[in-house]
């Protein structure tokens, strides 16, 4: 009889993913001496990882919530699911771009603030139409910093929307390079992207080298009235510098996928609760990908994508 491995889940993991684990595995949120851990967003940095654990699977792309260094010092793999949520993030970034281009959130707030009779409100919409007039996407330039699975999907979608795309990545993978439409102009560095784009979207992991990648100096290079989108990690943008750029009229809007006190209530900020990969499909894709890798490792010792 094959060994009944114990898989500890630290978050709710999609049932379709869990179904990819062998039937005889024991899976649950409260297991002693687990063989492996499946996690989505739970922060594992302060957690005492049981000595029985021989692998961690992260049902998502980034691994910032996992003590990867500690695991590799123990010689143990951490599996993740790069690309499995790329479509979900792409769709939200396109929505974010439209929010910025058409001033959707301030316009909604304006309508909510209207009071009085329907007639009075209709009259007030005349002012709103002027105040929130926007811009269209075709012919505008999107800068994509980070051309991995997500960045290259976004570049492809933007080209279909009639945009020009300029992208930068110091280490693009063969897969992403194949997917990248030939129309995407490759920049030499981050600064060149910032100088030429009307919209800039960030798709880099949070590393020492990318912390505060977008700081006051870099914001000063951006086109006046540009929209900055951050659906990557909060730490890659210096929030205080962004607020200054918004207040100075340098940036038109900052659309991000993280709440932060520094950004709260700012009329030109749209902050979402890390919704990028929160679709049924992406959660399933990530869970399936990581459950398959974990099984292959536990059953056959294979290490793919760790």
For position 128 contacting ligand MLT by CB under 6 A, the verdict is no
Q: Are 33 and 52 in contact (CB under 8 A)?
A: yes
Q: Based on C-alpha coordinates, what's the Rg of the chain?
A: 22
For residue 255, give every residue at least 6 positions away whose Cβ sits within 8 Å of its Cβ, in sequence order, or none: 96, 97, 99, 100, 227, 228, 229, 230, 269, 270, 272
Which part of the chain contacts ligand MLT (CB under 6 A), choosing from 108-116, 127-135, 146-154, 274-282?
Answer: 274-282
Looking at beta carbons only, is 143 or 276 nearer to ligand MLT?
276
Looking at beta carbons only, is 140 or 203 nearer to ligand MLT?
203
Q: How many CB atoms lie within 10 A of CB 266?
A: 16
Query: What strands, in cross-sheet order, belong to the sheet with 78-79?
Result: 26-28, 6-9, 36-39, 55-58, 78-79
Looking at beta carbons only, is 61 or 241 nearer to ligand MLT?
61
Q: Select from 277, 288, 290, 291 the one that contacts ligand MLT (CB under 6 A).
A: 277
Looking at beta carbons only, is 85 or 87 nearer to ligand MLT?
85
For position 144 contacting ligand MLT by CB under 6 A, the verdict is no
Number of residues binding to ligand MLT, judged by CB under 6 A:
9
**Beta strand residue intervals within 78-178, DSSP E:** 78-79, 141-145, 164-168
Q: Select from 16, 22, 41, 98 the one that contacts ligand MLT (CB under 6 A).
A: 41
For position 274 contacting ligand MLT by CB under 6 A, the verdict is yes
The Cα 219–Cα 141 span in angstroms is 17
For residue 177, give every residue at least 6 positions away whose Cβ sits within 8 Å of its Cβ, in sequence order, or none: 147, 152
Binding mask 42-61 for ligand MLT (x = CB under 6 A): ------------------xx
For position 250 contacting ligand MLT by CB under 6 A, the verdict is no
For position 62 contacting ligand MLT by CB under 6 A, the verdict is yes
Half-sphere exposure of 158 (CA within 13 A, CB side): 36
Contacts to ligand MLT from residues 77-106, by CB under 6 A: 85
Token pair 């038109």: residue? 252
State the minimum distance, in angstroms, from the CB of residue 122 to ligand MLT: 41
Reduced to 3 states (helix: H, G, I; strand: E, B; else coil), residue 95 is helix
Site for ligand MLT, rule CB under 6 A: 40-41, 60-62, 85, 274, 276-277
């Amino acid at each position: 009889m094959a060994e009944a491995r114990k898989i500890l889940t630290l978050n709710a993991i999609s049932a379709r993913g869990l179904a990819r684990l062998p039937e005889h595995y024991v899976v649950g949120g409260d297991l002693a001496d687990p063989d492996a851990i499946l996690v989505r967003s739970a922060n594992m940095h302060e957690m005492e990882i049981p000595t029985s654990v021989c692998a961690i699977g992260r049902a998502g792309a980034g691994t910032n919530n996992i003590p990867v260094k500690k695991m590799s010092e123990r010689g143990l793999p951490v599996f993740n699911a790069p690309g499995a949520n790329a479509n979900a993030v792409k769709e939200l970034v396109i929505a974010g771009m439209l929010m910025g281009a058409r001033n959707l959130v301030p316009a909604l707030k304006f309508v909510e603030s209207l009071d009085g009779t329907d007639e009075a409100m209709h009259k007030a919409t005349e002012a709103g139409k002027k105040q929130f007039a926007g811009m269209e996407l075709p012919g505008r330039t999107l800068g994509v910093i980070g051309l991995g699975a997500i960045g290259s999907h976004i570049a492809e979608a933007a080209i279909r929307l009639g945009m020009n795309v300029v992208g930068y990545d110091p280490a693009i993978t063969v897969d992403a390079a194949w997917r990248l439409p030939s129309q995407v102009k490759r920049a030499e560095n981050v600064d060149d992207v910032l100088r030429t784009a009307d919209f800039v979207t960030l798709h880099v992991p949070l590393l020492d080298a990318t912390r505060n990648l977008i700081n006051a100096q870099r914001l000063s290079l951006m086109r006046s009235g540009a929209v900055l989108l951050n659906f990557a990690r909060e730490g890659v943008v210096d929030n205080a510098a962004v607020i200054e750029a918004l207040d100075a009229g340098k940036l038109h809007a900052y659309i991000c996928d993280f709440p932060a006190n520094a950004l709260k209530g700012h009329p030109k900020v749209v902050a979402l609760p890390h919704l990028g990969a929160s679709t049924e499909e992406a959660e399933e894709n990530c869970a399936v990908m990581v459950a398959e890798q974990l099984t292959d490792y536990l059953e056959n010792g294979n290490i793919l994508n760790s």
